[in-house]
Amino acid sequence: MKIAKIALLVSDFEDGGVERNFTSLAAGLADLGVEVHFMVGNPDHPYLQELGQGVCVIPVVGDPTNLLRIYLPQQQPPILLTGKLSDDFAALAVKRLLGLETRLVAAVGTLLSGRFAAHRWNFLKTLRETRQIRRAYGQLDGITALTAHVARDLRDYFRIRGVPIAVLHNPIIPPDLATLAAAPCEHPWLAPGQPPVVMAVGGLRKVKDFPTLLRAFARLAQGRDARLLILGEGKERGRLEQLAARLGIADRVDLLGFVANPFPFMARCRVLALSSVREGLGNVLVEAMALGTPVVATECTEGIRDLLRGGDLGGLVPVGDDEALARALQAALDSRPDLEALARATRPFGREAASRAYLDFFAGLLK
């Protein structure tokens, strides 16, 4: 079945992986001939500047239910894909209220059960939120899960039954990756002949656990001349700057802030590190691997372990273990990556292939 129109919704549009994935998917679906309506809370975000005329960006002002009550009856898209829990709830509420035929699909990129870690001792709150998600997700028309582990979490922990769940790769790798990576990169640490650079990309948030990365880098820096470059912005900046100063590495660490095109940096650094305590997969790992850059990651999810083939394609270390992370960084700096193996592992994440898989799943829901 050919789908003429698909709507995407990310009302709280920030600098994270959901936003990048949805932007890339919107572009990929448009390239496949689909009319894409992308409802976003920040239409001026740099991520969206890469979108062509095949994507109609619709601003979300305030509560997304207000827009959905007008948009859905007027446009009647066959599929509405949401990427965050609050948007999932909003879309379901409007569909129930108006009795619409639009198929609602939620894209789940992380273990939803992981959200309870912050209040794991509050049994009543965990029970209430578990029941809320189970009830809501049981009313969806479909769910896309980033990894098999995420799909099992939905089926086993939340007991989602009767709703089609497809494990689909994110459309992470753009078709013009080589061109984007070849763009000028004027950071002095990445000039030829400079000491090796360890790099990380992500919002400066607690879930990324950059303090562990800083401690690991401080260990690494005791034995070799190296630099640490972190691309991303967030509330933890002050805390991280203070920690770098206490560790005596402030002059070797640069918190560069948000960068719309990180690929020139990824292509020129010596190793990319992911230190998160929780991830769905870690888009930055796929991007770096596609560029032939060695990677090191915490084993914070089965998805990362699967991506790195149990450690064959990149160092895997326990969450929060700065000593193990330092050793893995040292090993990555001293080794050469298997470029062919990295290319094979990341091929399914190409924009066209992944977008087509999404489109095939959506078509199946409309039969």
pLDDT-above-70 percentage for the chain: 98
Locate 188 and state its tokens: 């002095």
Interval 234-267: pLDDT, tens:
999 999 999 999 999 999 999 999 998 999 999 9
In this predicted structure, the answer to whether residue 119 has a pLDDT above a threshold of 70 is: no
258 vs 17, higher pLDDT: 258
How would residue 222 be classed by pLDDT, with cut points 50, 70 and 90?
A: very high
Interval 102-114: pLDDT, tens:
999 999 988 888 7
Give the per-residue pLDDT at 29: 96
Question: Please, how many CA atoms are within 13 Å of residue 179, restricted to the half-sphere of its CB?
Answer: 3
Long-range contacts from 240-249, C-beta under 8 angstroms, 24+ separation? 240/204, 240/210, 240/211, 240/214, 243/211, 243/214, 243/215, 244/214, 247/214, 247/215, 247/218, 248/218, 249/214, 249/217, 249/218, 249/221
Would you identify the CATH topology of the domain 177-347? Rossmann fold (3.40.50)
CATH 3.40.50.2000 boundaries in the chain: 5-171+350-365, 177-347
Give the per-residue pLDDT at 27: 95
113 vs 204, higher pLDDT: 204
Give the per-residue pLDDT at 117: 63
Give the per-residue pLDDT at 54: 87
Q: State the residue for tokens 């098999």.
A: 148
Give the per-residue pLDDT at 118: 58
How would residue 14 be classed by pLDDT, with cut points 50, 70 and 90?
A: confident
Strand pairing class (103-108; 227-231): unpaired
CA dihedral 147, 151, 157, 161 (to 10 degrees): 170
When the pLDDT of each residue in the chain is averaged and rounded to a whole number, the result is: 93
- SS3 call for 281: coil
Locate 206 and state its tokens: 């607690």
How would residue 303 be classed by pLDDT, with cut points 50, 70 and 90?
A: confident
Give the per-residue pLDDT at 287: 94
Give the per-residue pLDDT at 121: 67
- SS3 call for 164: coil
- The closest alpha carbon to 108, from 301, 290, 295, 298, belongs to 301
Would you identify the CATH topology of the domain 5-171+350-365? Rossmann fold (3.40.50)
pTM: 0.84
Q: What angle do CA 181, 184, 189 make, to 5 degrees?
A: 95
In this predicted structure, the answer to whether residue 278 has a pLDDT above a threshold of 90 is: no
C-alpha separations of 85 from 5, 108, 115, 155, 287 in Å: 23, 9, 11, 17, 26
How would residue 1 be classed by pLDDT, with cut points 50, 70 and 90?
A: low
In this predicted structure, the answer to whether residue 120 has a pLDDT above a threshold of 70 is: no
In this predicted structure, the answer to whether residue 298 has a pLDDT above a threshold of 80 is: yes
Mean pLDDT, residues 96-124: 82
In this predicted structure, the answer to whether residue 356 has a pLDDT above a threshold of 70 is: yes
In this predicted structure, the answer to whether residue 10 has a pLDDT above a threshold of 90 is: yes
> What Rg do the C-alpha atoms of the chain give, in angstroms?
21
